[in-house]
Amino acid sequence: MHIVERAKNLMMNAGSEWVMWLLIVLSAVSIAIIVERVLALRTLKTDLTSLRRQLVDGLFEGGFAKARTLLSNQRHPAALVALRGLARPEPETTAKGAEEAMVAETVAQKRVLESRFSFLATLGANAPFIGLFGTVVGILQAFDALGHTSAGMVNSIAPQAVMSSISEALVATAIGLGVAIPAVFAYNMLERTVKGALEDAEIFSREIVSYLESRRSDNAAKQEEPPSRPMVSPVARRAASLS
């Protein structure tokens, strides 16, 4: 048998109903993931302006110790990234070392925040094609039924049967679009939320690096400052001149 006939028989025997059930299952999974991600990202609703001000004030008022105390109860990724940079004792921490540590923590936080995002992106891109596959199978069944109709029944029964089968087949495409649109919308919204959180983490890390750089500059200036000349009283200067 020709390969085209084999493929046609296989698709017609399978039908398009399984495609619709597959889309329904994928839709349920995507909704569960969306709800889980929304609940997981609730920690991102934090007053970052106030938290950033506390970080800066804590660094310049009490160094790493006070900054760690202010951020220890926060679960926002920006706070976790900052705590990674503040983990080592302050005298042993360099700007370069803290920056590398915070970059590593940012990557780790990004992986946690974007968990299961790939499923939503993949479903949003491919659900319409899955529905279209079901539509193609349904149309194939309709035209095959038309081809097997006897000549005397073509004008009376076949057109109605074909149109009914095609309309049912188009339901698969509609379901595919209905699954894809919420997945794409949720993916875009969640991705934007995560991007904002990572930008906040970058701001916090820059504040810590700026503090360490200013501390290093102050220490270098103190080391290069020449010792002050001792003050000599006028009486001592006159005595020295007479001798």
Domain limits, the chain: 3-224
Tens-place pLDDT, residues 158-187: 566 667 777 777 888 899 999 999 999 999
- The per-residue pLDDT for 16 is 75
Tens-place pLDDT, residues 30-88: 999 999 999 999 878 888 899 999 999 999 888 999 999 999 888 899 999 999 999 99
- The per-residue pLDDT for 220 is 62
- For the chain, what percent of residues have pLDDT higher than 70? 81
Please give the model's pTM, rounded to 2 decimal places.
0.77
Angle, CA of 169, 173 and 178, to the nearest 5°: 135
Tens-place pLDDT, residues 6-37: 777 777 777 778 888 999 999 999 999 999 99
- The per-residue pLDDT for 184 is 95
- Which position has the higher pLDDT, 124 or 225? 124
- The per-residue pLDDT for 189 is 95
Helix pair angle (17-40, 158-224), 10° resolution: 20
87: which DSSP letter? Answer: S
Question: How far is it, in rounded angstroms, from Cα 131 to Cα 208?
Answer: 51
- The per-residue pLDDT for 235 is 46
Measure CA 132 to chain center: 29
pLDDT of 94 above 80? yes
pLDDT of 117 above 80? yes
pLDDT of 223 above 90? no
What count of other Cβ atoms lies within 10 Å of the Cβ of residue 57? Answer: 13
Helix (H) or strand (E) holding 68: helix 48-71
- Which position has the higher pLDDT, 191 or 242? 191
The residue type of 193 is T
Report the b/e string of 147-174 with b at 16+ CB within 10 A.
Answer: eebeeeeeeeebeeebeebeebbbbbbe
Averaged confidence pLDDT in the chain: 83
- The per-residue pLDDT for 19 is 87
- Which position has the higher pLDDT, 48 or 225? 48
